[in-house]
Chains A and B, each alone.
Chain A
Amino acid sequence: GENVEQHPSTLSVQEGDSAVIKCTYSDSASNYFPWYKQELGKRPQLIIDIRSNVGEKKDQRIAVTLNKTAKHFSLHITETQPEDSAVYFCAASIDRDDKIIFGKGTRLHILP
């Protein structure tokens, strides 16, 4: 089955700097890659996603890149703000299966 590895597990960046979280997946059949943000005590919420027919997608300060050959995908957050502090999960899914396999998460701390 699919396995998603995520690193780093913890990341601290100065407010205004960029943060990068990297993930790898194992199942070449995966073709949908969502990223979820989970604040303390809250539900996971989708912040951006990318499909395998696209190499990069951007939404304001957030961007995702996908390298299907290497089975790597990354989340980039620019101009970080205090409200970006949370746990971020990368995930992978095969359309026909729909279940989402999550990474273990990255706890992002934005330092003042």
Chain B
Amino acid sequence: DTGVSQDPRHKITKRGQNVTFRCDPISEHNRLYWYRQTLGQGPEFLTYFQNEAQLEKSRLLSDRFSAERPKGSFSTLEIQRTEQGDSAMYLCASSRPEYNEQFFGPGTRLTVL
């Protein structure tokens, strides 16, 4: 499968725990994006990378959230001290710079109890 992959697909955690998600973009896509989608809403932009550089962070990304893309390939999104309001689908997308089209992964559904 040459599409964007995300792991895990589902995560259930207790409030206050830390969680980490991984995204593997399409190879040769040097741009990688993280979005969050809650029920009945459109995806909301969180942050994006060009290669290993994090170019923009949304104000939605509180200091409990951190994202990395250390080698410019896969990326991780960590949420510390999870809250019930963090429950959502976390989507990753990737693109090539000469094309705007972003290809989405299947998402990681986070449930915080």
Contact = CB atoms under 8 A, between A and B. Distances in A.
Interface string A9-50: 000000000000000000000001010100000111110010
B101 A46 contact: yes
Q: Which of B48, B56, B102 has the most CB of A within 10 A?
A: B102
B31 interface: yes
Contacts, number: 53
Given A43-B105, A43-B106, A105-B40, A99 B100 contact: no
Interface string B100-113: 11111111000000
A43 B91 contact: yes
B106 to A, nearest CB: 5
B62 interface: no
Contacts of A105: 40-42
B45 interface: yes
Q: Which of A34, A49, A102 has the most CB of B within 10 A?
A: A102
A100 B40 contact: no
A84 B45 CA distance: 26
Contact of A98 (B31, B105, B106): B31
21 contacts: A43-B91, A43-B105, A43-B106, A44-B43, A46-B103, A49-B100, A89-B43, A91-B42, A93-B100, A97-B56, A98-B33, A99-B45, A99-B56, A99-B58, A100-B45, A102-B44, A103-B42, A104-B41, A105-B40, A105-B41, A105-B42
